[in-house]
Each structure stands twice: as structure tokens, then as C-alpha cells.
A and B are shown apart, each in its own frame.
Chain A
Amino acid sequence: MTVFPTDGVTLILAIPAASAALLGLLPGYRLSARLNVLACLLTFLAALSLFIEKPAPGPFILIDDLNIVFIVLNTFVGFTTSVFSASYIAHELETGRLTPLHLRFYHAMYQALLFSMNLALVANNIGLMWVAIEMATLTTVLMVGIYRTHEAIEAAWKYFILGSVGIALALFGTILVYMAARPAVGEGLDGMVWTVLMARVAAFDPALLNVAFVFLMLGYGTKVGLVPLHAWLPDAHAEGPTPISAVLSGLLLNVALYAVLRFKLLLAANPGAIAPGPLMATLGLVSLIFAGFMLYKRRDIKRMFAYSSIEHMGIIAFAFGMGGPLANFAGLLHMTMHSLTKSAIFFAVGHIAQVTGTQKIADIRGLTASHPELGWSLVIGVVAIGGMPPFGIFMSEFLVVSSTFAREPLLAIPLVGGLLIAFGALFFHLQRLAFGAPSARSVPAPTSRQASHLPMIAHFALVLMAGLYLPPPLVAWFQHVAGLLG
């Protein structure tokens, strides 16, 4: 058994790691922005190769049908965001918000973040996964604080403190899982390997596992942004560079959710342990309804979409908490659709904030008249994220609601209520942002013409396609994974 298999897995870890080092050394932002895109593209291609050839699980690395979905989504959005980031940072440099030195650091951190997220996803070891998620937290803290304004520093500090507490609780939970496994599995490395734990979990001490899951749920749940542990999320999204908001919302929340799902599987396989589903479903429902109400009073456009991310993570956690093939299928689909749509929205919002020079909702008016491309992209994005047909989110939300109706009709009432509240809030803001007389403050930015809308269009096209027609192989794959999730 080799420690690190040499193939796609090595590549999706080695390419970001090597590029992080390289981009940290290279001066000249044009070159490094291009190299950043290239590295992300190569990583994405390497991730696709995992479909063809799956390496055998080792003590540290595991590729199974569940995490392939996450890895491919992760590397794809990482790639499109790097394309967006190239045009975004060119503008930031012109306006002097960032210096070339900051950009070197930014690119290195971007690749380090992709590396740690990929590592968390392929880890077959609960300790290694914890280390990777901690690394991802630290890199994003540094990037959130990169503008060095009062608000950015405050957001980074808050994120750092809450993130570290979450991570610390998750480590305590990880230690407890090892303690529970030790009598059955024995001492040493085996006690932390997923595949070994999953095979023997039936013999573990259920009481210890229960306590461990509470810590893990709270710890990693902080990173997922579930209410009441969400306080860091809106600030971190609003104050950091927009590409980072896109990556945070689209990817990092999913990675933390993946960790929770793995531990949920572990608990579900032990006959004596509590059912983890209801805890997840409750937190998810609370997040959905809370975020729905909070959406109304937002004054900052990025903060608003950050609350929308809390709402959608709530829906996803609820779906996985309900369990069963249909709800799991809906949860997976919703997660994919949310990642694509939300990152595309942040691409649009990033350019909007640049051309209008503000993030305040009150100062942005009539975008469809002043900047038709961006304005209509925002309209499409909000229609999609609000769950209107014909986009993919409509389908996944419909599946979540219908599976809830079939099994727990009473729970469907707050679920539908939360969805409607959030939907109303988003359209309430959209109508003022996109329509009406343009605000006087909007100034056409010099680079707005060269700004690349390709990533945004690609994401919307995928979401639209998924809403109209899901290819049968994809459906079969998701059904298979949903079955694995129990």
C-alpha cells in the first residue's frame, strides 16, 4: 500500500501547492494572474481524470463516489473564479485598492486555499481532514483582511476568532471519535482512517460517539455557517475581495458540509448512536428561516448575498438531515446548483461594485438601464437563486419540498414559509437595484469593457441547462451517491 498514490490525486494536490509557492515568488501581476488561471485549469482537468481512474484508498487518501462530486465541483468553480479574479484584480490595482505586493500574496493564498480544500476532500484520515480545514480557514482569514480597512480587519478578526473556536471544537470531537474507535480498532493510525472506521463502527461505544458528533456538528457547523454559529459569515463575505466571497460561498461552505456528512454517515452506521439527521434538519431549518428574515434589512449588496448563502446552506443541511434517497439527491443537486449560481452572482456583484464604486444597496439604482449586461446578469442570478423556473435551483428546491411533504408534512410548512420569505426579500431588493432610474453616482469604469463575463455566463448556462434537462448519467451518478448517504 503506497502512502500517496501517483495519479490524479497527486496532481490535484501538487499543482496548487507548487503554484502557491511559485506565485508567491513571481513579481508582475499580469503573468501571475494568467498562471493562476492555468494552474486552476490543470487542477480541474486532473480532477476530471479521477472519473476514469480511481486510485485505491490508502491510509491518507481516499477517492470514492461521494467525494468525486465535491472535488470536481470544487476545482471547476475554482477555475472559473480564477478567470473572474484576473479581470477583477486588474481593476483593483488601477484604483489603488491593492498593490502589486498584495497581489503576489493574494495569488499564493488563492492556490493555498484550493490546495487545502482539495486535501480536505480527498483525506481518508479524520486528523488530516481537520488539518486541511484549519489551513483553509487561515488562508481565507488572511485574504478577508487584505484590504486593511477598519471593516476588513474587524471582519477578519471576527472570522478568525469564531473560525478557530469552531475548529477547536471539531478537533475535540475528532479526538473523541478516536477514543470511541480505539477499543474496536486498536491504537495507532488505523483509528483515524475513514475506511477502517466505517467498516467497524458498529462496535464503537455509542455514548462517546454521540458526544463526539455534537462537538463535530457545532465545530464544522460554524464553518458551514449554520445559525446560530453564522456570525462571521456576512462580514467575511462583505469585506474581502469579491473572488474570495465567491470561493467562500461556493466552495468552502461545501467542504465543511462534506466533513459533517462524513461523520453523519459514521453515526448512522452505529446501531446504538443517536440519529444525526434531526439535529442537522433542525439547524438547517432555523438557518433558513432566520436568514430569510435577515435578508430584508440588508444595506450592503455582498452582505445580502452572504445571508442568502446561509439560507441555502440551511436548505442543504435540512435535505441531508431528512435523509433518504430522494432528499439526499435533492440536497446534492441543490448544493451543486447553489455553488454555481452563487459564485456567478458574486462575479456580477464584483463588477457592479466596481462600476458603481459602492456596495451600498441604497446607492445602486437602475442597473439594467445604466449597465445592461451586469444588470440583467444580476436579474438572472436572483431569479435563479430565488428558486424560479426554469433554473436548476427550482428543481432541487421542488424536490426538497416534495420529499418533505411525502414524509413529514408538518415540517414542510416552515420550509416553504422560509423559502417564500427569502424569495420575497431578494425580489424586494432586486426591483430597486435593477430597475428604475439609474443612480447619478454610477461612473463607467475604464476596464469594464474588458471585464470577462465568460465565467458568469458559463455558470448561468449550466444552471439553466440543469433546470431544463439533467443528463441521465449525471442523474444516475447522483442517485448512486444519494443511496450511499443513507
Chain B
Amino acid sequence: MGRLEFDVAHLLAGGLVLMSFMLLYQDRLFALLNVFALQAVVLALSVSWQAYVQGAPHLYVTAAIALVFKAIVIPVALHRIIVRLGIHREVENVVGVGPTMLAGMGLVALSMVVMLRVTADAYPLAREDLAFALSVVLLGLLMMVTRNNAVSQIVGFMSLENGLILAATGAKGMPLVVEISVAFSVLIAFIVIGTLLFRIRERFDTVDADALDRFRGGQR
């Protein structure tokens, strides 16, 4: 494997982690969606680079799905939902930006330590990709934990899925079944979220998960 192939793949995977960090501190919903769309574009580039390097044309399909659904369709739809719900105010973080970023760095360090150690004798490209992918997954989880707002939780979940797709494409020769199913399940997940959101819209004027909690009352 040439030096260039490795460097480009590394650059793109690292870019995904960087985008995940940018997602962590966005405090406006529209900016959040823009960064998410950018992350999806980087993912599409990264997947197509893998397709080229591995000589696996079916990965281009995955890249196209990432580009069309995640970079265009979903951000546009979420944009509309936000406008219709009238919630283009600031995103409230439960934890401040500083501690969140520190926690994020800790998670990236953790995933590097774990993955690079256990995959010592694996194919080097897959090895680095896996470490980056785990970082993206953990950062997505962190984002879901630190946000109250349903829309930003959805974005957090989708960036987590981006990490999974990075891992799946990095694993050389992984059967197509899985990639398509991942993309497909994201689509289904989005429909579910959509219906949930509409139902929430019917009943409440907020999609803040904290507000949902209050309705439980003494049922517990």
C-alpha cells in the first residue's frame, strides 16, 4: 500500500473526528445541522476513498447513500422541522463547552489506546480507521448525553452512525449486506424519529426531552 493512500485515508478519517468535535460545541440548531451535513460529506469522501483503495466498487453505493441521505435529505428535512416547530433558539448544554470538550478529548485518547493496542497486527489502514471510528462513536454518545433537545440528540445519534459506517468500510471485504442495512436502518430510524417528532408536535410545543420528563408526574 502506497504512502499516499494511507495519508489520504488518515486525513479523511481524522476529519470525521474533527467534525464530531465541532458538533459538540455548536449551540445553534442550524449551525449544528450544517456541521452534520459537512461531516456526512467527509464521510462520503472517506468511503469513496476506501472504495478506490480497496478496489471495492460496491462501497461507492454506501458513499452515495451517505452523500444523498445524510448530507442533503436529512439536514433539509430537520431544517424544515425546526422551522415548523419554531425552535431556532439556542441549544442548551447541560454541561458547559469546556468540560464537554475535555471529556471528548479523554474519549478519543481512550479509543486510541484501546483500539491501537488490540489491533497491533491488523492491516494498518483498518487499524487507524477503527480507532478513529470508535472516537466518532464515543463522541456521538457524548453529544447525546450532553444535549437536552430532541433534534440535537438525533444529530448526535446520526454522527454516531457515521462512525459505524467508517468502521464497516474500514474492515476490508465486509459483506455488502451490512452496509446497505446500515444505510437502510438509518432511513427507517429517521422515519421513526419523524413520526415521533410529529406526534410530539401534536401534543407539546417543545421537543425538549426535559419537558417530556415533567409529564410523567408521579407515575414512577
Residues of A within 8 A of B (CB): 125, 127-128, 130-131, 134-135, 138, 141-142, 145, 148, 150-151, 153-154, 156-157, 160-161, 164-165, 168-169, 171-172, 174-176, 178-179, 182-183, 186-189, 191-192, 205, 207-208, 210-211, 238, 299-300, 303
The secondary structure that dominates the B interface is: helix
Interface bin, chain B: 35 or more
The listed residue (B167, B171, B178, B215) touching A182 by CB distance below 8 A is B171
Whether B21 is near chain A, meaning CB under 8 Å from some CB there, is no
Q: When the two chains form their complex, are residues A207 and B212 in contact, meaning their CB atoms are under 8 A apart?
A: no
The listed residue (B130, B144, B188, B200) touching A165 by CB distance below 8 A is B144
Residues of A within 8 A of B83 (CB): none
Instruction: Tell me whether A127 and B177 are in contact in the complex, defined as CB-CB below 8 angstroms, given that A150-B215, A172-B137, A178-B171 are known contacts.
Output: yes
Q: When the two chains form their complex, are residues B173 and A157 in contact, meaning their CB atoms are under 8 A apart?
A: no
The listed residue (A131, A148, A175, A183) touching B167 by CB distance below 8 A is A175
Q: When the two chains form their complex, are residues A160 and B161 in contact, meaning their CB atoms are under 8 A apart?
A: no
User: Chain B: which residue is nearest A125 at the CB level?
Assistant: B177
Q: When the two chains form their complex, are residues A148 and B137 in contact, meaning their CB atoms are under 8 A apart?
A: no
17 cross-chain CB contacts under 8 A: A127-B177, A134-B181, A142-B192, A145-B196, A153-B196, A156-B196, A157-B212, A168-B160, A172-B134, A175-B164, A175-B168, A182-B171, A191-B175, A192-B175, A205-B118, A207-B117, A210-B118
Q: When the two chains form their complex, are residues B119 and A179 in contact, meaning their CB atoms are under 8 A apart?
A: yes
Residues of B within 8 A of A (CB): 114-115, 117-122, 126, 130, 133-134, 137, 141, 144, 150, 153, 157, 160-161, 164, 167-168, 171-175, 177-178, 181-182, 185, 188-189, 192-193, 195-196, 199-200, 202-204, 209, 212-213, 215-216, 218-220
Q: When the two chains form their complex, are residues B203 and A178 in contact, meaning their CB atoms are under 8 A apart?
A: no
User: Chain A: which residue is nearest B212 at the CB level?
Assistant: A154
Q: When the two chains form their complex, are residues B178 and A127 in contact, meaning their CB atoms are under 8 A apart?
A: yes
Residues of B within 8 A of A172 (CB): 133-134, 137, 164, 167
Residues of B within 8 A of A131 (CB): 177-178, 181, 185
The listed residue (A135, A141, A178) touching B174 by CB distance below 8 A is A178
Q: When the two chains form their complex, are residues B220 and A299 in contact, meaning their CB atoms are under 8 A apart?
A: yes
Residues of B within 8 A of A168 (CB): 137, 157, 160-161, 164
Q: When the two chains form their complex, are residues A145 and B199 in contact, meaning their CB atoms are under 8 A apart?
A: yes
- The CA of A191 and the CA of B171, in the complex, are separated in Å by 11
- The CA of A192 and the CA of B168, in the complex, are separated in Å by 13
Q: When the two chains form their complex, are residues A151 and B219 in contact, meaning their CB atoms are under 8 A apart?
A: yes
